[in-house]
Amino acid sequence: MDTEISRRGALAVGAAGAGAIVVAGCGASSKPAGGPTGSAGPPSTAGSGSGTRLASLSAIPVGEGIVVKDGDSAVVVAQPTRGAAAAFSAKCTHMGCTVKAAGKELHCPCHGSKYSATTGAVLHGPAPRPLPKIAVHVDGGSVVAGA
Ligand code: FES
């Protein structure tokens, strides 16, 4: 009897340990990218609806992109040419990790995919598709969600 309980206990501990490893892996991938995220300032309103201020255009180097939080999501906000803005989901199209800004590229920390920071195009797999576009416009020096 004691042996059976011990086996169950061991199985439970083993299962919990395996779960913890999986959770730790997911947790690390769902965090927003570091670096310039903080310099863009928080969105002015929560959620991903039209009209949400995503970033100040001056916080984004021309030809590059930054990753910002938009509610529970991470969004890439780019300045392809001076004064213009583009945005993409920061969720890697391979398995959903959050990409990180890396100059003119976006790098996925999970399996090494690389994207263009200004177009969201795949530069290096295994990502199968470009990052989905998000409609944005520039309003008073801010990049705002919505067309
Ligand atoms: S989840 Fe991004 S490369 Fe796999």
Q: What is the pLDDT of residues 23-44, one digit of tens each?
A: 333 333 333 343 344 344 444 4
Tell me, using a 6 A CB cutoff, whether residue 26 lines ligand 1. Answer: no
Q: Where are the beta strands (DSSP E) in the chain?
A: 53-56, 65-70, 73-78, 86-89, 100-102, 105-107, 114-116, 122-124, 133-134, 136-139, 142-145
Residues 3 and 66 reside in one and the same domain: no
User: pTM, whole model, 2 decimals?
Assistant: 0.69
Residue 56 and residue 40 in contact, taking contact as beta carbons nearer than 8 Å: yes
Structural domains in the chain (count): 2
pLDDT at 49: 54
Do 40 and 93 fall within a single domain? Answer: yes
- Asked if 97 and 134 sit in the same domain, the reply is yes
39 and 83 co-located in one domain: yes
Say yes or no: 121 and 136 in one domain: yes
Q: Which domain holds residue 58?
A: 35-145
pLDDT of res. 50: 67
How far apart are the CA of 130 and the centre of ligand 1, in A?
12
Check whether residue 83 and residue 16 sit in a common domain.
no
Q: What CATH code is carried by the domain that includes residue 69?
A: 2.102.10.10
What confidence tens digit (pLDDT) does each residue in 85-137 have? Answer: 999 999 999 999 999 999 999 999 999 999 999 999 999 999 999 999 999 99
Contacting residues for 72 by C-beta, under 8 A, at least 6 apart: none
Residue of 88, 94, 114 to test ligand 1 pocket, by largest number of atoms within 8 Å of CB:
94
Domain shared by 15 and 75, yes or no: no
Same-domain status, 60 and 85: yes
